[in-house]
Amino acid sequence: MTRTIASPAAVRQVRYLTWIVVLAVLITVSLVRVLTDQNRMTTPGTLRLALIAACPILLAGLGGLWAERAGIVNIGLEGQMLLGTWGAAFFAYHFGAWAGVAGAIAMGALGGLLHGLATVTFGVDHIISGVAINIIGLGAVGYLAQTFFDGYEGGGPRNLSGYAVPREVTIPGISSAARWVSEQRWFLISDVAGAIAGVTTRLSLLTILALLLVAFTAWVLWRTPFGLRLRSCGESPQAAETLGVNVYLYKYIAVVISGGFAGLGGAYLAMVASSSFTTGQTNGRGYIGLASMIFGNWNPTGVLASSLMFGYADGISLLSNNGPLVHAILLLLAVLLLGYAALKFRRGERMTAYVVAGIAVALFAWYLAVDSVPSDFTGMTPYILTLFVLAVAAQRLRMPAADGKPYRKGQAG
């Protein structure tokens, strides 16, 4: 298996272009905010809500990343998140907030272990096993909630409240200064300040943990011998076996960690995004997390960026009177897609460029035709965006070579 090593100059050029793209997006967002007079687009409250909505998706996406880098497709993230919501509520109710976090991770890891047992040991198709885990997770959480929570104070057969949650922190000085700058509505500067205020005001410790896990995942998988061996199981398990790697063991480790991340995402839903537990609380966020992993090209920073995008769409759908704001987002998407189409055209990918440009023109026409977007549509925004970005980005994706493929010990011989 050959590997191309990028030169330092090429790496620097990629980083330089990345910062240019980020700056261009920020300028575009600020321009649209000013033109549409939708200041809520970048207020600290909106961006804080977007971050809260993004974190469960991020944790599910990181969970999917761990599994798929070892060659296991984990469709069961949704069910593992559901198990995590119940684990968080049960253990937090009895033993405290961080016991709830640990319980959620353990419940999600249990779901990952079941998925590993089916796919690694018995060779069950990964998709079939994942769907089964989702069904089992939904049924198990409903049964456990009815069995345990119905007799608790503040509980019922489908819900529970009154348990401890991790505390929130506000960075003094930075938070108040950033909020003041954000309120001035200066071009670009206030938008950046709004983002700073959003991540420094009433920040849950679980949010900090979720962001740290992005760096942890990147370091372990790409900077350690353990991560190299794990990724080799997803690229060429036969070659890894010939080098003495216990492929089964690494696949099990990866899928259990994957379930633990998804369970932590469930804890975030039950302890930060909401202060109470409800059965079926994930609402498809496990699937959106899987989409964020794919759109992020199986890379931790890509998962973070795509999760923030999905989280923003999910967050604004929760705002009151959000029709005018989503209407402004239509213009923003149209402008960004036109820029993306121009980039594709310059690279010679003309068919993709024409398709993306056509979508951009349709969004712009929609923006001109209406004054506000119906509230029924705004609730669908995260799911429509999921389908849309996967369709647009499909041509640039590169999954691990052995992802989802069956492997039996001894195949290398």
pTM: 0.93
Return the CA Rg of the chain. 22
Burial class of residue 151, CB neighbours in 10 A (0-12, 13-18, 19+): exposed
Tens of pLDDT along 106-163?
999 999 999 999 999 999 999 999 999 999 999 999 999 999 998 888 889 999 999 9
**% helix, strand, coil for the chain, step of 5:** 75, 5, 25
pLDDT band, residue 228 (cuts 50/70/90): very high
Q: What is the mean pLDDT of residues 159-180?
A: 93
| Four-way CATH pick for 40-317: 1.10.3470, 1.10.1060, 3.10.20, 2.60.120 | 1.10.3470
Q: What is the mean pLDDT of residues 196-215?
A: 95
Tens of pLDDT along 249-259?
999 999 999 99
Residue 390 has pLDDT above 80, yes or no: no
Structure tokens at 49: 């809500």
**Closest by Cα among 129, 133, 120, 131 to 252:** 120
Cα separation of 267 and 59, whole Å?
Answer: 10
DSSP 8-state assignment for residue 141: H
Residue 3 has pLDDT above 60, yes or no: no
Structure tokens at 342: 């121009």
Q: What is the mean pLDDT of residues 155-182?
A: 93
Cα separation of 249 and 120, whole Å?
Answer: 9
- How many angstroms separate the Cα of 61 from the Cα of each of 109, 357, 382? 15, 29, 15
Tell me the backbone φ, ψ of residue 94, rounded to 5 degrees. -95, -35
Residue 321 has pLDDT above 50, yes or no: yes
**Closest by Cα among 324, 325, 261, 270 to 107:** 261
Report the greatest alpha carbon distance in the chain.
68
At residue 377, the pLDDT reads 72
